[in-house]
Amino acid sequence: MAMTQISPQSAPRLSMRMRRAIWVWAFLALPVLFYSVIRFYPTIDAFRLSFTNWNLMSPPEYIGLQNYREMFASAEFWKVFRNTFAYLIIGTPISLFLSFIIAYFLDRIRFGHTFLRALYFLPFITTASAMGWVWRWFYQPAPTGVINSVLGAVGMGQLDFLRSTTWALPSIMVTAIWAGLGFQIIIFMAGLRSIPQTYYEAAKIDGVGDFAILRKITLPLLKPTTIFLVVFSSIGFLRIFDQVYNMTTNDPGGPLGSTKPLVLMIYQTAFNSYQMGAAAAQTVVLFTILLIISLLQLWILRTR
């Protein structure tokens, strides 16, 4: 901004601008180069590889759209696709709703505020794999699993959790939601704090009720925060891997593939079966989904 305001009247000034630009680019070159090599090149190369049959060892062989045809024809892929969207569609609203409720009430209390906030944040800074294993043991049948032991002690039946094709995905989702909650609460609280108090004071003077304040003032003014968190959390759920992998290592993504997300499928195709081309095709699908969802959310943000 400052640079454009300097009017280019004489030659030395111009060269000064040039020199500055060179300096700027000299510093920018490193991250640009880094990202080109580490991020952009592999991303673009994935598109190329998705049209090949490559097992890492023999040179890639061009096979056109065969990887895509096989992928879209496979029942397993569609199951994994549904699972991925189940994580997204159930996980994102629940986690946002919970974190908003907690942030909203946490914002109103003074006693134990810092302690509670730290407590909620704690899971976020814990290693995902460690957390996955702890929850995996929670979910075990009695006598090892805490939850089932308690259920048994109060005379209730056992829940199969991770051994059920119906309940394994929700069980893992609970862990993932719990893990991300702390971060979302902190962001929501920052958002709540940034709403000017004057609005609330004015509303109170006018005698507006708590619920109306929430609906008419808090939620609308919190929209940028909410949108950020929706994007952030959606991408997180679409890329879920750690929790699933660690909670189902004996049967990764199981039982019967009922918890397998796209990223785990990509991992298995690439590094267990060494079908790099097929894995690249799956990656392209994931990339496309992420792109569409991000663009959609940017669009919602713009028509605010």
Residues lying near another protein in the complex (CB under 8 A): 55-58, 136-137, 140-144, 148, 152, 155, 157-158, 162-165, 250-251, 254-257, 268, 271-274
Nearer to another protein, 55 or 194 (CB): 55
| Residue pair 276/49 in contact by the 8 Å Cβ criterion | yes
CB of 298 to another protein, least distance (A): 36
d(CA 166, CA 98): 23
d(CA 223, CA 235): 18
CB of 275 to another protein, least distance (A): 8
The DSSP-derived string for 209-267 is: -HHHHIIIIIHHHTHHHHHHHHHHHHHHHHT--HHHHHHSTTSTT-STTTT--HHHHHH
Nearer to another protein, 9 or 166 (CB): 166
Token reading at 208: 């507006």
Nearer to another protein, 1 or 73 (CB): 73
CB of 201 to another protein, least distance (A): 56
CB of 80 to another protein, least distance (A): 14
CA triple 39-34-61, angle to 5 deg: 45
CB of 274 to another protein, least distance (A): 7
Nearer to another protein, 158 or 297 (CB): 158
Nearer to another protein, 59 or 64 (CB): 59
Tell me the three state secondary structure of residue 158.
coil
